[in-house]
């Protein structure tokens, strides 16, 4: 381990039912979820009697802390050099191309999307085995918490849909993984974001987009979407839900661009070329009317009302893949190559802390918990590390 100090909708009747395999889904029961395969070859026995994966640079004493210690200090610029991994969730998976992470609003549950599998953990329970899982027939673009009780994603078509090739929005219960609601979409979803008040932004193919009220499970309005020849990298809502943003890569222009919607003013987005080639992430500042568009090395800070670039900076030491803010906006975290993450001071751009396991495995997300006490980092092998500082820090 190496750490560096200084990152036409069709509405079915709502119904609750068990997910059936023939519908494209299967529910994996919790105690079977993370049992390692016998031939995996990297298995240790954990303190709870379950077999635990051997992470190449992870020591088993971390499992002595069997639930998340909510007395941990809030991560700040001053104590960031003291970050350390305090917990590991889940077991190794055979193959993970990219792992997306999401905390629920309370910070007590963590969701991971690894390929076509969704897994979630209750962080206040005395086990690091996932509390539930749903397996889809094809990989969804994103999976997000709605409150603490439901997970929303866009998945494969269902046989009884009016048009069988159409994909659908789906919501699952975090209690047992059962399908709570579903809705047929007019086109495949290529980007999703959830606002704090439960509004879902769905970016669809063919230049379509829509807002969806998850609690009421109903369409709200259509938006003009992104151009057809782009790849959506990330989507985000502002804290007050007024603005929505999408960062994309153009397939034929070798340039990333930002799409910004003022949802109070227009259904049409403002489009801004970013001047760098590869998009990594986008996020709104939690306390100021600012937005950050992130490239793999570049950072562009913009005023959302003036629609102007305020400043830019580069980090050529890290090749990053996502972006998230601490709750107060003082810090930014981005996952990086070689199986790690980098923590930045927002105002100065200084790298306060970086971690790398020097692994060749594909990286995944790095995200802050809602209370700012933890950073969750996808570790490339399907496991998730939780990082924190000591309570006295």
Between 356 and 26, the more confident residue is 356
Its pTM surpasses 0.85? no
The string over 188-208, giving b where at least 16 C-beta atoms fall within 10 Å of a residue's C-beta and e elsewhere, is bbbbbbbbeebbbbbbbbeeb
For 230, the token pair is 């782009």
Between 176 and 43, the more confident residue is 176
pLDDT grade for 165, boundaries at 50, 70 and 90: low
Least confident of 111-115, 212-216, 344-348: 111-115
pLDDT grade for 139, boundaries at 50, 70 and 90: confident
Q: Which residues pair with 154 in a beta bridge?
A: 169
CA gap 249, 247 in Å, rounded:
7
pLDDT grade for 330, boundaries at 50, 70 and 90: very high
For 110, the token pair is 């963590």
Question: Which pLDDT score is estimated for 196?
Answer: 94
What is the SS3 assignment for 367? Answer: strand
Give, in degrees to the nearest 5, the angle at Cα 331 between 4 and 301. 115
Burial class (CB in 10 A: 0-12, 13-18, 19+), 22: exposed
Which H/E stretch holds residue 32?
A: helix 30-33
Kindly calculate the radius of gyration of the chain based on its CA atoms and give it in whole angstroms: 20
pLDDT digits 0-9 by tens, 37-59 = 333 333 333 333 333 333 333 33
Q: Are 203 and 43 in contact (CB under 8 A)?
A: no
| DSSP 8-class letter at 99 | E
Q: Are 88 and 55 in contact (CB under 8 A)?
A: yes
Question: Which pLDDT score is estimated for 27?
Answer: 43
C-beta atoms surrounding 70 within 10 Å: 13
Closest CA to 262 of 314, 317, 300, 306: 306
Question: Which pLDDT score is estimated for 20?
Answer: 34
For 371, the token pair is 């209370």
| DSSP 8-class letter at 229 | T
**Residue 62 backbone phi and psi in degrees, to 5:** -60, -25
Task: Report CA dihedral (44, 46, 49, 53) to the nearest 10 degrees.
Answer: -50
Q: What mean pLDDT is predicted for residues 175-201?
A: 94
CA gap 304, 301 in Å, rounded:
9
Closest CA to 271 of 250, 251, 290, 242: 250
CA gap 68, 27 in Å, rounded:
26
Q: Where are the domains of the chain?
A: 2-388
Class assignment of domain 2-388? mainly beta
pLDDT grade for 223, boundaries at 50, 70 and 90: very high
Q: What percent of the chain has pLDDT above 70?
A: 78
- The average confidence (pLDDT) of the chain is 82
Does residue 81 carry a pLDDT above 50?
yes
Which H/E stretch holds residue 33?
A: helix 30-33
């Amino acid at each position: 381990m190496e750490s560096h100090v200084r990152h036409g909708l069709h509405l079915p009747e709502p119904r609750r039912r068990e997910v059936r395999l023939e519908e494209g889904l299967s529910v994996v029961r919790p105690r079977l979820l993370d049992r390692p395969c016998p031939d995996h070859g990297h298995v240790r026995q954990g303190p709870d009697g379950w077999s635990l994966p051997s992470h190449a640079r992870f020591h088993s004493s971390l499992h002595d802390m069997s639930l998340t210690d909510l007395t941990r200090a809030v991560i700040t610029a001053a104590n960031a050099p003291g970050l350390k991994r305090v917990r590991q969730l889940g077991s190794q998976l055979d193959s993970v191309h990219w792992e997306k992470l999401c905390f629920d609003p309370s910070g007590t549950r963590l969701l991971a999307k690894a390929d076509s599998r969704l897994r979630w953990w209750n962080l206040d329970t005395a086990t690091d085995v996932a509390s539930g899982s749903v397996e889809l027939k094809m990989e969804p673009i994103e999976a997000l918490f709605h409150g603490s009780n439901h997970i929303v994603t866009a998945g494969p078509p269902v046989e009884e849909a009016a048009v069988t090739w159409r994909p659908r929005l789906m919501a699952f219960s975090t209690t047992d993984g059962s399908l709570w609601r579903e809705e047929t979409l007019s086109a495949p979803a290529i980007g999703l974001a959830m606002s704090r008040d439960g509004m879902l932004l769905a970016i669809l193919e063919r230049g379509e987009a829509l807002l969806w009220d998850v609690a009421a499970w109903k369409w709200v309005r259509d938006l003009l979407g992104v151009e057809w020849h782009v790849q959506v990298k990330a989507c985000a809502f502002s804290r007050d839900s007024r603005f929505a943003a999408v960062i994309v890569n153009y397939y034929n222009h070798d340039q990333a661009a930002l799409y910004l919607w003022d949802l109070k003013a227009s259904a049409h987005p403002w489009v801004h070329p970013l001047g760098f080639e590869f998009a990594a992430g986008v996020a709104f500042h939690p306390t100021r009317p600012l937005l950050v568009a992130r490239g793999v090395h570049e950072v562009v800070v913009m005023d959302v009302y003036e629609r102007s670039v305020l400043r830019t900076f580069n980090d050529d030491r890290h090749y990053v893949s996502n972006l998230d803010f601490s709750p107060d906006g003082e810090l930014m975290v981005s996952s990086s190559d070689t199986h790690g993450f980098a923590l930045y001071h927002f105002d100065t751009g200084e790298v306060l802390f970086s971690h790398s396991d020097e692994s060749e495995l594909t990286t995944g997300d790095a995200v802050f918990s809602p209370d700012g006490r933890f950073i969750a980092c996808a570790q490339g092998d399907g496991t998730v590390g939780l990082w924190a500082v000591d309570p006295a820090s």
